[in-house]
Structure 1
Amino acid sequence: MKKTLKLALVAATLATSSIGWAQDGKAALVKQLIDLQRPGIEVLARSLVEDSSAPIAQAGSGYLQSQVPAEKREAAAKAADAELKKYFDEAYPILRDKAMALAPTTLGPVMTENFSEDELRQLIAWLSSPLRKKYDELNPKMGEALTKQLVAETKPTIEPKLRALDASVAKALGAPTSAPAGAQGKAPAAAPAKAPAKK
């Protein structure tokens, strides 16, 4: 009886230690997977910073085109771009570093609960593979091709809707709705806001 009890205790101890080892192994895989996600996390941080400043850039661009005398626009645009870049250069590292610090405690549990060790290994192999890198390189080109074709084929349908929207919003705001001379038949074109320089 004592022998059986000892064997049961040894078996339980081994089982517990192997579970701990398995969890440690899984934790190491999760950490590796999060490290591989760094480029995507950096893109997320960059997008958040750019999105947060986009309304200011757009409003500034509109003001620049409508309120600043033509001879002063270039200097004003450069000064505004410098401020946008300064904001980006200060805000991006903060968001990037915080995102990387939060990733283990936010992404880690989701990965641990939803992926087996074997699945984590497969993900790591895929993310590390030359095929994935090639796909990532081609993905913007594919997106650009689709966007170009989509815009070309929907432009005749969308432009009248944009003109109607422009007139409706102007009317709702009590702004003049008549288009300037020479602008009839053209979709409203907002001056594009310059994105901050990317590092």
Structure 2
Amino acid sequence: MKKFAVLALLVWGTWAQAQAPAATPSSPAKKELVTKVLALQQGAIEQVAQAVVERPALQMMQQASLALQTRVAPDKREAIAKKIQEDLNKYAADVGPKAREQAVKLGPSTIGVLLDEKFTEAELKELIGIMESPVNRKFAQMAPEFQKALAEKLVAQSKASVDPKVKALEQAIVMHLDLPAPAPAKPASQLLGAPKK
């Protein structure tokens, strides 16, 4: 009896799917609107690709920074840090453009499909109007300025409370890893090449 019930459910489910209306194909006008939104969002799509490329590099940079402080002799740190930075720059220059190009190519089959499914033609027209408005463009152009202003204030106001916690975290990690304590940091004047007295 159970087998019959399962079989009946499967047959009914298949029949119900066959009776469901097929997705209506998009009109050429709607496809054109989706293409326009994708073109207007190309910069954002490329930024997503760049972030994906940079994520592993930033993680490696953090690990390398810790290793430099804990495992490399102080007199060799600067030279090794430069070599690591050169490798990271080479990686970003090699992988970044390819990833951005691939992201733009994937836009229609990912973001474009979602735009087509979730937005009506009227909504897409309204969205394009917003994206193309001079006020929106001005606001978008100011984003780096906004970020810089906020970051500078945030660092200035939180440095005194965050720095000791970063040092405590670093010491705890070093202790957990059973590594030698990091060498004391050089004063900024020495790092910047100030004349020695």
TM-score (norm 2): 0.67
Moved more, 145-154 or 114-123: 145-154
Alignment RMSD (CA, Å): 3.2
| 1:122 Cα deviation after fit | 1.8
| 1:130 Cα deviation after fit | 2.4
* CA–CA distance in structure 2, aligned partners of residues 158 and 61 of structure 1: 18
TM-score (norm 1): 0.67
| 1:13-45 Cα distance to aligned partner (Å, 9 max, x none) | xxxxxx86x622111101110111111111111
| 1:124 Cα deviation after fit | 1.3
Moved more, 147-156 or 63-72: 63-72
Evaluate the alpha carbon distance shift between residue 174 and residue 71 of structure 1 in structure 2; reply closer, same or farther with a 3 A threshold: closer
Matched, 1:128 2:169: no
Matched, 1:103 2:107: yes
Residue of structure 1 in register with 2:45 after alignment: 41
| 1:157 Cα deviation after fit | 3.0
* CA–CA distance in structure 2, aligned partners of residues 24 and 107 of structure 1: 17
Matched, 1:67 2:72: yes
Residue of structure 2 in register with 1:50 after alignment: 54
Consecutive unaligned residues in structure 2, runs of 5 or more: 1-23, 192-197
Evaluate the alpha carbon distance shift between residue 181 and residue 81 of structure 1 in structure 2; reply closer, same or farther with a 3 A threshold: closer
Number of paired residues? 164
Evaluate the alpha carbon distance shift between residue 55 and residue 108 of structure 1 in structure 2; reply closer, same or farther with a 3 A threshold: same
Note if contact 2:34-2:116 (Cα within 8 Å) is conserved in structure 1. Answer: yes
Evaluate the alpha carbon distance shift between residue 89 and residue 132 of structure 1 in structure 2; reply closer, same or farther with a 3 A threshold: same
| 1:137 Cα deviation after fit | 1.7
SS in 1 for 2:142: helix
Note if contact 2:31-2:116 (Cα within 8 Å) is conserved in structure 1. Answer: yes
The share of aligned pairs that are identical, in percent, is: 30
* CA–CA distance in structure 2, aligned partners of residues 152 and 39 of structure 1: 31
Residue of structure 1 in register with 2:16 after alignment: none
State how 1:19-34 maps to structure 2 within 5 Å. Answer: 23-34=27-38
| 1:181 Cα deviation after fit | 5.9
Consecutive unaligned residues in structure 1, runs of 5 or more: 1-18, 192-199
